[in-house]
Amino acid sequence: MGLQLNLKNVKGDMDDVKSPGFAFVPDGRGMVLLSEFREYQQAGKATCHKACFEITAWSSLDESGKSVVGAVHEESIFLPSNTDDQDKSIPKLLRLAIAVGAITPAQAEGIREGNGDFDFDPQTCLHRPLFIEVVTSENKKDPKKPYHQIADFGCAYYHIGDPRCAEWPRNAGVVTAYG
């Protein structure tokens, strides 16, 4: 399943593109593997992409004090509806593509200057390492059920060579095997 992303309307620096889902991992940051990517539609709800990330190194423990290595964070990237005036999924998908090494920020800039169309096949990026940050945010519909989602408005995906993540937990074995 390939996706065509038009980068013409993506604003700003391609290395810091800005633009939710539930998980059972505590707030934190660290190294993960993109373990699954699929389209998902729940009855009566918007269609979205589901990206699943297997934790390989994490900055915090779960509520019982145990490591969350091996846990999976599932992230929803919602596609625009007929009432949306802007496709907010493109920056999230672009950051994911950059983080797994499918494209560089310089290549994205060149594509935006050209025809703007970038074909991204997330299936070719499975089992690639990257860094993510997960935060808890308020659920306005049900305050008793907070959201656990990717930080930075769903864009906190970083390449394993990104200097912003130099001090983040990493799994040397994963870097050696996949990096």
Res 16: pLDDT: 58
For the whole model, what pTM was predicted? 0.81
What average pLDDT does the segment 10-27 reach? 60
Does residue 4 register a pLDDT over 90? no
* Buried residues in 55-81 as b, exposed as e (16+ CB within 10 A): bbbbeeeeeeeeebeebbbbbbbbbee
Which residues 6+ apart lie within 8 Å of 21 measured at CB? 50, 73, 74, 75, 76, 147, 148, 149, 150
Of 23, 26, 49, 25, residue with least CA distance to 37? 49
Closest alpha carbon to 133 in 95, 87, 107, 102:
95
Of 20-34, 81-95, 112-126, the range with the highest mean pLDDT is 112-126
Pairing assessment for the beta strands 28-40 and 48-58 based on DSSP bridges? antiparallel
Quote the tokens at residue 63.
């509520």
pLDDT digits (tens, 9 = 90+) for 84-118: 777 888 899 999 999 999 999 999 999 999 988 99
**Greater confidence, 151 or 146?**
151
